[in-house]
Structure 1
Amino acid sequence: MTDVSPRALIQNWVDLFNQGDADGLAALYAKDAVNFQVCLAPIEGRENIRAMFAGEFAKAEMTCIVEQILADGDWGALEWRDPLGLRGCGFFQIKNGLIQYQRGYWDQLSFLRQQGLPLPTE
């Protein structure tokens, strides 16, 4: 992938996320990328990240509404909300035009309740 600004790459990520395009999203990640949603275990590798998105899109209808995208050097930050009121943020480290590392913060219990999904037992 050609070198792309963090801001443009994150906007592309949002567009693909809102389309439910797990394959398109996976193509934005480096082969050895890490996606760490802090309420879950880190996912390592492009194919595992693709499978994670495919599984999540199959379970729930999700929409990311951009509040703001900030960028500085190799890093970009996304502040987002969804139509049901959930809010969160994500940080993306971009190297050679691909996401190398992503870390996201959001309330998993609120998400599960809003989506009518089973709650953790612990």
Structure 2
Amino acid sequence: MSPKELVTQWVRLFNQGSAAKLAELYHTDAINHQVAEEPVNGREAIKNMFENEFAHADMHCIVENLFEDGEWAILEWKDPLGLRGCGFFHVTDGKIKFQRGYWDKLSFLRQQGLPIPKK
């Protein structure tokens, strides 16, 4: 499966809120680093991260652009509330080895009605 095809599947599973199925797309030692958060290491921890996120927020990914360059897929996305971001997925052997995402955490927390951490 190409990186672009894999990320298309990732978006579908993300929009279904399926943490377990999403986790299957990652290598066992994968890293997911959403730059507004600390990196998450390993498939099981990534699954737990998604379970927690889906339990606390109503998230939906609308693809604006999806590009592929070698082993990388680049996703530009928005959500129904207007939040925008992008993600970079390094895909090896048909699985995600590394993911990095960029989005505005403060806007996300406000839109979802979640508490804003104090410094």
- Matches for 1:12-91 after TM superposition, within 5 Å: 12-91=9-88
Q: Look up the SS of the partner of 1:83 in the other structure.
A: coil
Gaps of 5+ in 2: none
Q: Give the C-alpha shift of residue 120 in structure 1.
A: 1.2
Percent identical among aligned pairs is 61
Report the residue type matching 1:64 in the other structure: C
Runs of 4+ in 1 over 2 A off after TM superposition: none
Gaps of 5+ in 1: none
Distance 1:68 1:10 in 2: 11
Q: TM-score, normalised by structure 1?
A: 0.97
TM-superposition CA deviations, 1:6-30 (whole Å, max 9, x none) = 1100000000000000001000000
* 1:101 is the counterpart of 2:98: yes
CA RMSD of aligned residues (A): 0.3
Distance 2:18 2:103 in 1: 21
Q: Look up the SS of the partner of 2:15 in the other structure.
A: helix
Distance 1:40 1:7 in 2: 25
* 1:6 is the counterpart of 2:6: no
Report the residue type matching 2:43 in the other structure: R
Distance 2:21 2:5 in 1: 15
Q: TM-score, normalised by structure 2?
A: 0.99
Q: Look up the SS of the partner of 2:37 in the other structure.
A: coil
